[in-house]
């Protein structure tokens, strides 16, 4: 068949090549949920491509030549190599315990990687794109890069939240600025080079102004831990120049670059957009290596609205969660509850609620009811279809549309939609049972064929769902098919395009419940018990009622909000109190964006003596709750009350 005769669906079904990577993680901390998310995501995506029949390669690994490692190793009294061996092994064993099917695990301390780094450096040096010079600036050890004054947020690095230090060093520099026009044009011409669009725009904004040249070495005397430059052994390679090359060295060292490069999809979170969106493509260009295909950027998992990270100490162990909720159910939650590109909130009740709603109620119910009825009415033996009626065909059509829909969703990074589309079809199957009432059909012997058809329809629906969800829940989906009487084997996407794949006469039998419900009340109790260790409250002295009654508290409607021109912690609000309008200055800029406040009804102290705050007079004060970590939430009233209403 020539290309012109191919339908788009046929073209999609062609065997493609797919190479996907996670960041290689720093070895100064144990793997946490943030690392686990990207790794699970890439595992799901590569499993989906394998399901489709694509030639797939999945790379992960560890980034080991960081200054922090040298320091941590010194503190632990071991050599950096011993230290990183331990942490790298911990990453590897965590991924193994989580069933991550990576094809290669690369470590930047391996000889095969170091050799490629030196070759790439030499090539760029020989091309005249590396020079020796002096540089002074703000260096962030957390992010391992120089940051500009402009990038700082409240004096700290935007990537790591750590304050940078001032450094002057004689280093080698990569002529990155030279490649800026090329990169800008490349991104403009290839709208899906960096996805989603918000991150593409972020990088384009960086490229509108000079990006400068990139310092790519450190004096060996200061950082003995690193790859020496091939032409000057007194300097070691800068960590990003070393680390980014892993994506290439892992293939090259196995002679796989012809097969998988440049069909590469890098997956990262938004913390490392600049190195991947600016340093990496310009490095590739200078080294004469074709630039990667897609940079896919996801948001953060937040706990209590803050990025989960080791340094913030709010880390939940992925192995703990997997043990508690089950490996597949935990993966399902992560895929379903993050909208790619945006931040998502993380908490255990949300995991439990998602599992109960989608896995126990929707999918688990469909399985239990279908196998229960098949056992009761047909001794567990899979029947043939009778003539299909409208309702049967509607459900079949809904399932048959899924393989192409999911392929598009995965291509376009809409993972939560992919999962949700399958669940929508599963819910439709539950509704189909409720409407067809097999229990009524079972009472009427003339309806035997009709009952066969209804049962068979549900069985095929379950089988198709198990194929489509297999990348997300590999173990559960295979176990589900085993309960249907099918072999314990991996599926292919083609299996989900069939509606007649279970041989008539197959013996099915319900086994262990696959998707048990989580007892939410018990979970809440357990979590509350965990919080009980919190410090006791410190109360203020008691006051007479009059002291309280002297305060005039009122509901106020926010009509305008803007940053205070002279203070970066303050916002200037205009609020409406009945007919009266007032200006209030509030120290909530770190917690609320001005736009989010418009039309909020807040509670203010209306008879506080006016005060001038950095040149603006505040006619009252907002009330807000503050937790032990300093997070704020504005006080409002539970129902919509007219602005000006008194709060007593």
Residues 6+ apart with CB under 8 A from 7: none
- Are the CB atoms for 96 and 141 separated by under 8 Å? no
Which of 268, 362, 518, 575 is in the footprint of ligand MSP by CB under 6 A? 268
Q: Which is nearer to ligand MSP, 61 or 438 (CB)?
A: 61
* C-alpha separations of 573 from 242, 414, 609 in Å: 49, 38, 17
- DSSP type of residue 412: T
Q: Which is nearer to ligand MSP, 244 or 355 (CB)?
A: 244
Q: Which is nearer to ligand MSP, 419 or 643 (CB)?
A: 419
**Residue 270: CB minimum distance to ligand MSP, A:** 7
In this structure, the chain runs to a length of 648
**Residue 636: CB minimum distance to ligand MSP, A:** 29
- Are the CB atoms for 576 and 527 separated by under 8 Å? no
Q: Which stretch binds ligand MSP (CB under 6 A): 264-272, 381-389, 525-533, 623-631?
A: 264-272
Kindly state whether residue 140 participates in binding ligand MSP, applying the rule CB under 6 A. Answer: no
Q: Which is nearer to ligand MSP, 100 or 269 (CB)?
A: 269
Q: Which stretch binds ligand MSP (CB under 6 A): 29-37, 99-107, 204-212, 555-563?
A: 29-37
Residues 6+ apart with CB under 8 A from 262: 289, 290, 291, 292, 293
Residues 6+ apart with CB under 8 A from 259: 17, 55, 57, 251
Q: Which long-range contacts (CB under 8 A, 24 or more apart) does 572-581 make?
A: 572/616, 573/597, 573/622, 575/602, 575/604, 575/620, 575/643, 576/643, 576/644, 577/604, 577/606, 577/643, 577/644, 578/642, 578/643, 578/644, 579/644, 580/644
Q: Which stretch binds ligand MSP (CB under 6 A): 49-57, 243-251, 387-395, 535-543?
A: 243-251
Residues 6+ apart with CB under 8 A from 334: 36, 37, 40, 41
> What are residue 556's DSSP bridge partners?
602
d(CA 421, CA 395): 13
Q: Which stretch binds ligand MSP (CB under 6 A): 18-26, 201-209, 327-335, 558-566?
A: 18-26
- Are the CB atoms for 632 and 626 separated by under 8 Å? yes
Q: Which is nearer to ligand MSP, 276 or 582 (CB)?
A: 276
Kindly state whether residue 58 participates in binding ligand MSP, applying the rule CB under 6 A. Answer: no
**Residue 353: CB minimum distance to ligand MSP, A:** 20
Q: Which is nearer to ligand MSP, 27 or 480 (CB)?
A: 27
**Residue 21: CB minimum distance to ligand MSP, A:** 8
Tokens for 439? Answer: 């229990």
Tokens for 337? Answer: 């509850």
d(CA 326, CA 612): 56
Which of 87, 116, 216, 269 is in the footprint of ligand MSP by CB under 6 A? 269
Q: Which stretch binds ligand MSP (CB under 6 A): 31-39, 361-369, 380-388, 427-435?
A: 31-39
Using CB under 6 A, count the residues that bind ligand MSP.
Answer: 21
Residues 6+ apart with CB under 8 A from 285: 179, 182, 183, 291
d(CA 464, CA 494): 10
**Residue 176: CB minimum distance to ligand MSP, A:** 16
Q: Which is nearer to ligand MSP, 243 or 441 (CB)?
A: 243
Q: Which long-range contacts (CB under 8 A, 24 or more apart) does 590-596 make?
A: 590/154, 591/624, 591/631, 591/632, 591/633, 592/561, 592/632, 592/634, 594/561, 594/562, 594/563, 595/561
Which of 13, 18, 34, 65 is in the footprint of ligand MSP by CB under 6 A? 34
Kindly identify the residues of this chain, within the stretch 605-644, that bind ligand MSP according to CB under 6 A.
none
Q: Which stretch binds ligand MSP (CB under 6 A): 33-41, 51-59, 195-203, 584-592?
A: 33-41
Q: Which is nearer to ligand MSP, 146 or 377 (CB)?
A: 146
d(CA 452, CA 461): 14
Kindly state whether residue 238 participates in binding ligand MSP, applying the rule CB under 6 A. Answer: no
Kindly state whether residue 272 participates in binding ligand MSP, applying the rule CB under 6 A. Answer: yes
d(CA 461, CA 469): 12
H or E, element range at 633: strand 632-634
**Residue 600: CB minimum distance to ligand MSP, A:** 28
* C-alpha separations of 146 from 159, 214, 226, 317 in Å: 11, 9, 18, 31
Residues 61-100, mask of contacts with ligand MSP (x by CB under 6 A): --x-------------------------------------
Which of 38, 114, 237, 619 is in the footprint of ligand MSP by CB under 6 A? 38
Kindly state whether residue 26 participates in binding ligand MSP, applying the rule CB under 6 A. Answer: yes
Q: Which stretch binds ligand MSP (CB under 6 A): 19-27, 354-362, 379-387, 428-436?
A: 19-27
Q: Which is nearer to ligand MSP, 153 or 394 (CB)?
A: 153
Nearest residue (beta carbon) to ligand MSP = 34
Q: Which is nearer to ligand MSP, 243 or 480 (CB)?
A: 243
- DSSP type of residue 507: B
Residues 304-343, mask of contacts with ligand MSP (x by CB under 6 A): ---xxx----------------------------------
Interacting residue ranges for ligand MSP, rule: CB under 6 A: 23-26, 34-35, 37-38, 63, 243-244, 246, 268-269, 271-272, 300-301, 307-309
């Amino acid at each position: 068949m020539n290309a012109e005769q191919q339908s788009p669906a046929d073209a999609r079904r062609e065997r493609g090549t797919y190479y996907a990577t996670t960041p290689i993680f720093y070895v100064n901390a144990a793997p946490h949920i943030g690392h686990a998310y990207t790794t699970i995501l890439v595992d799901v995506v590569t499993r989906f491509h394998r399901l489709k029949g694509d030639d797939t390669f999945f790379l992960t690994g560890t980034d080991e030549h960081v200054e922090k490692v040298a320091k941590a190793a010194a503190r632990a009294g071991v050599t950096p190599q011993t230290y990183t061996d331990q942490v790298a092994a911990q990453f590897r064993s965590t991924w193994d315990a989580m069933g991550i099917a990576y094809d290669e695990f690369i470590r930047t301390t391996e000889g095969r990687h170091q050799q490629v780094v030196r070759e790439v450096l030499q090539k760029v040096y020989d091309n005249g794109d590396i020079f020796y010079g002096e540089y002074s600036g703000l260096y962030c050890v957390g992010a391992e890069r120089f940051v500009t004054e402009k990038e700082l947020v409240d004096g700290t690095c935007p990537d790591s939240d750590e304050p940078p230090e001032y450094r002057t060093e004689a280093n080698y520099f990569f002529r990155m600025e030279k490649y800026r026009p090329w990169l800008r044009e490349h991104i403009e011409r290839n709208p899906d080079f960096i996805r989603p669009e918000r991150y593409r725009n972020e990088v384009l904004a960086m490229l509108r102004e000079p990006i400068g040249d990139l310092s790519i070495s450190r004096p060996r005397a200061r950082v003995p831990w690193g790859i020496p430059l091939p032409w000057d052994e007194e300097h070691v390679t800068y960590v990003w120049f070393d680390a980014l090359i892993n994506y290439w060295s892992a293939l090259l060292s196995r002679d796989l670059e012809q097969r998988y490069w440049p069909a590469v999809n890098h997956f990262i979170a938004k913390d490392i957009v600049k190195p991947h969106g600016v340093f990496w493509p310009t490095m590739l260009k200078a080294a004469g290596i074709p630039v990667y295909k897609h940079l896919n950027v996801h948001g953060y998992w937040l706990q209590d609205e803050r990025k989960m990270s080791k340094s913030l100490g709010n880390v939940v162990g992925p192995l703990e969660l997997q043990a508690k909720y089950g490996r597949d159910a935990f993966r399902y939650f992560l895929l379903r509850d993050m909208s790619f590109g945006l931040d998502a909130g993380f908490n255990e009740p949300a995991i439990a609620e998602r599992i109960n709603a989608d896995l126990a109620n929707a999918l688990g119910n469909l399985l239990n009811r279908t196998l229960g009825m098949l056992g009761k009415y047909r001794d567990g033996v899979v029947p043939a279809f009778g003539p299909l009626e409208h309702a049967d065909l509607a459900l079949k059509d809904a399932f048959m549309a899924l393989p192409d829909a999911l392929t598009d969703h995965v291509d376009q990074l809409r993972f939560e939609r992919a999962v949700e589309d399958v669940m929508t079809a599963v819910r439709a199957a539950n509704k189909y049972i409720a409407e067809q009432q097999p229990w009524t059909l079972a009472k009427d012997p003339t309806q035997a064929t009709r009952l066969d058809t209804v049962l068979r329809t549900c069985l095929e629906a379950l089988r198709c769902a198990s194929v489509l969800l297999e990348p997300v829940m590999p173990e559960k989906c295979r176990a589900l098919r085993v309960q249907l009487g099918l072999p314990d084997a991996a599926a292919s996407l083609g299996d989900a395009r069939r509606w007649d794949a279970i041989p008539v006469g197959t013996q099915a039998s319900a086994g262990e419940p696959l998707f048990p419900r989580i007892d939410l009340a018990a979970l809440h109790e357990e979590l509350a018990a965990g919080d009980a260790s919190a410090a006791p409250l410190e109360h203020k002295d008691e006051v007479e009622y009059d002291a309280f009654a002297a305060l005039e508290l009122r509901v106020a409607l926010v009509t305008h909000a803007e940053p205070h021109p002279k203070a970066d912690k303050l916002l200037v609000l205009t609020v409406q109190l009945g007919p009266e309008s007032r200006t209030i200055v509030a120290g909530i800029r770190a917690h609320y964006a001005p736009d989010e406040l418009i039309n909020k009804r807040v509670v203010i102290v209306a008879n506080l003596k006016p005060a001038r705050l950095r040149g603006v007079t505040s006619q009252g004060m907002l009330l807000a709750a503050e937790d032990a970590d300093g997070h704020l939430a504005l006080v409002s009233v539970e129902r919509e009350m007219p602005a000006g209403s008194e709060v007593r």
